[in-house]
A and B are shown apart, each in its own frame.
Chain A
């Protein structure tokens, strides 16, 4: 990575190398990691060219990212990607455009790597978007089209997103008794005010270094609003923990950060989500990985993570009144059915929880705990959960 240049005020902290002067700095040393990635991209293009020169239908072989091609590794507690691959051909009515788009993205990534720049997946969407010569059609109509192409490229050439010099928007935040170095800047996470430190999409150790910490565990909270409540109470200070939220589903950066903290700092991870199938699933993604990004489970999952709730059985345990519950919607019920069939929800306690939710037809938001008092969650709920027994007070 090129040395950090100060960017204009207001630029996102992690947006380190995208400024124009990087490109004009003269011949740039290309690191070993970048060289490997560049080679993979060039190989992909040459092999397509070789195929078409023999009159064949050039194909990309893309690992299949779907339920049918993942398996749950019970021992490691991880979702793993299977061996199935699918062929993406150019001379195919439905695949021609996807094929072209894949190379368009590859071309842009190659340029980024050569320039030593990193860009967001939104930037690359705009960068690669133009009208197809002689038509009104665009190479990409919306970012929703380019994002999966990026994932396809990642798995096809076996390169991580950051190796392609791509990142997503920052998402989620962290506070807690720890000091880190973020691309050269020292940041004290004890002094992040009410908003916390915004978690970037790339958190590899060449960018984010952990320095000093007194934290004893990590508490991940699904929702920013509940996190803000805890931060206001300085829960992390009283309890010596790192406090994170993911703004809903934890993004790759957040998941990778949780994994690194768990692994490098040996901190246990606790997860607090809403009591609904979506909350349960957020927990499972942090713990075992996801279907779509199964190829990244190895670097992102935290199989030892623990679930602090909300559980369906908590309603009784904490004496939550019926009027703070919400009725399940059809899509909730359908999602419960699906979860019950996933291997990584096969454990008896999870099946019981899901069955109970189904039976009561009720779900609870974390905020429902506030019905018991504003500090109930920090002073009663979490401490009690942490003290309690596995399978009873918390699940894994």
Chain B
């Protein structure tokens, strides 16, 4: 089995031995360089369609710039320019004020895959998204033939090197195209600018470059960003916080969270070290017995040279490492799903289980004595049981990662970030204490922006983040989305139909920070639905909702009080004129008497947020100090409706009121609808003449 074949040709998943021998295939595979591998499997890196390619390119460059700035302790200032040079052909330039890159490293960084500083450790922030900027450069070169153009300067007085470089995909080696000593004048003290030309597609909407940058701004209040989109004017987001996020404590990757690409890179770059040794040194919580056990399951000799392990075995090793984080639903539920399924067993395991890669699924299925491609329907309950046993057997016990490495954005900065993105009237945020799912520590934080220029008629804008990286794809498959739906937003004064997002001028921010974010798939587009995770997100959102609800109520109360006051004030003017005319007491003095008494009778009464209209609370409460008897004689709301209090049965009202011998219309101050009906009745009587 080759990795390549596995992904491209499901037929190849037939039991080994039916076609070419493993040895024969393995020999071929040795000749495939990483760059060739990724050229053919570009979807693994986020280049599967033109729109996504454009986004991924920008994302890689921006992530790198932010990482570099943060690592160097510099407040990042970024310029992003996206230009459509011709139809479907875009030039992307990302410029930062980071530490710069030393001249010798530039070609390798931008034109050699699996070359970087971040793969060897695990930080809970960015840089886990893909193979990196060189892949973007490679994609650009592949589609337009243009090299990556880099300008970088590492300090005041130092030259700003200009490098045009492309990758040689056969050898995975960089090729610089311009003079090695090319420099440009750059007023910046230090920083890097990367320019890549690629075939892409710029479009708006949820998964657009614009959305990605806007959300990046929310999760990074310390970032100053200027963005020139292909169409429209330059957008500037000034910095709102001068605080760099605390440097995330560096830990080694945990086996649970390792990606295949990362594992390939780690092993490839392990020099002369043996597999077990490499695993122990590069991963946290991997002891000698754990390393041996992992190798055993992957069929690898622990003492083999790591850089020489073939791709198939690396995949098996990867499966063994992530296996202990995989889970299937309760056996009864799974068995009944399987019994009703139209697909094959592999599809069922991938769909119903969590934490499975296709390789791991196949591995577990085979170990359970089954074939991944067998029709799931045909699998008996007893065989399903064996599948569970097989999964259990595949799981090497590995300690969970330590919790002290999680750094959330923080409540204050979440709010700053939201403030910058949304012109709202109310902002709040809440960070939950660390929690654990399947042994993995994580922290959830939520925030909301409300009112102002946010659209009143649309569904809430949900911004999802995993380790500060915006999640743009697959909202419906995401636990964050599910948690938002599960919150009863109506109780906070918003509109919400069952099973839908709340409607109103609301933006919802949810950030899940974890050493190992539980994504639904390798594509890292949506967070998996672990009960613990959904619960934490809900709790964080509910806390924000409560604060929002209280604010909405207070706003209403305030508005009502002013309304009430102005209602009384306008009638005082009229009343004073009449009383003056009757009593000859000066109009001013009457007005003053009433105005002076006003504060005794206007109170802020917080009515229920929902449906309540001003005036539902009883006005005209007795003034302080009045006796209880008088208070009891105060206006009764029902009687206030009309000069005539309600008749014993509502249906009796019209005729009762309509018996006035004067034949004038009988309306009283009922609602206009009612009064019209009344008048009609009377008229229909007299109108018959």
Contact = CB atoms under 8 A, between A and B. Distances in A.
Interface of A: 41-42, 44-46, 48-49, 52-53, 55-57, 59, 62, 64-69, 84, 86-100, 103-104, 106-107, 110-111, 121, 132-135, 137, 139, 143-145, 147-149, 151-152, 168, 171, 201, 223-225, 246-252, 254-255, 274, 278, 281, 285, 290-293, 296, 300, 331, 334-335, 338, 365
Nearest to A41: B582
A292 B657 contact: yes
B667 A144 contact: yes
A145 B669 contact: yes
Contacts of B669: 98, 145, 148
Interface stretch (B213-221, B470-478, B681-689): B681-689
Contact of B619 (A69, A94, A201): A94
A272 to B, nearest CB: 14
Given A49-B579, A96-B567, A292-B660, 12 more contacts: A52-B594, A57-B597, A92-B619, A103-B575, A134-B570, A147-B665, A171-B663, A247-B689, A249-B660, A250-B663, A290-B660, A292-B644
Nearest to B598: A91
B647 to A, nearest CB: 5
B583 interface: yes
Nearest to B644: A66
B458 interface: no
A78 to B, nearest CB: 14
Contact of B659 (A201, A224, A281): A281
A281 B570 contact: no
B369 to A, nearest CB: 76
22 contacts: A45-B579, A46-B583, A49-B583, A49-B593, A52-B593, A57-B634, A68-B645, A84-B645, A88-B635, A88-B643, A94-B619, A100-B578, A107-B578, A133-B570, A148-B668, A201-B662, A224-B689, A247-B663, A247-B686, A252-B662, A255-B661, A292-B666
Given A144-B665, A144-B675, A168-B664, A91 B689 contact: no
The 10 A-B pairs with the shortest beta carbon distances in the complex, nearest first, are A248-B686, A92-B620, A91-B601, A93-B615, A290-B659, A89-B620, A103-B578, A66-B644, A92-B619, A93-B619
Interface of B: 564, 567-568, 570-571, 573-575, 577-579, 581-583, 585, 590, 593-594, 596-598, 600-602, 614-615, 618-623, 626, 633-637, 639-641, 643-648, 651-652, 655-657, 659-669, 675, 679, 681-682, 685-686, 688-689
Interface centre among A144, A147, A338 (most CB of B within 10 A): A144
A86 B645 contact: yes
Contact of A223 (B573, B583, B633, B689): B689
Contacts of A106: 578, 582
B643 A148 contact: yes
A101 B581 CA distance: 14
Given A69-B645, A87-B634, A103-B582, A365 B688 contact: yes
B615 A55 contact: no
B661 A56 contact: no
Given A66-B644, A92-B618, A99-B575, A249 B659 contact: yes
B689 A133 contact: no
Interface centre among B577, B590, B664, B669 (most CB of A within 10 A): B664
Contact of B655 (A139, A248, A335): A335
A278 to B, nearest CB: 5
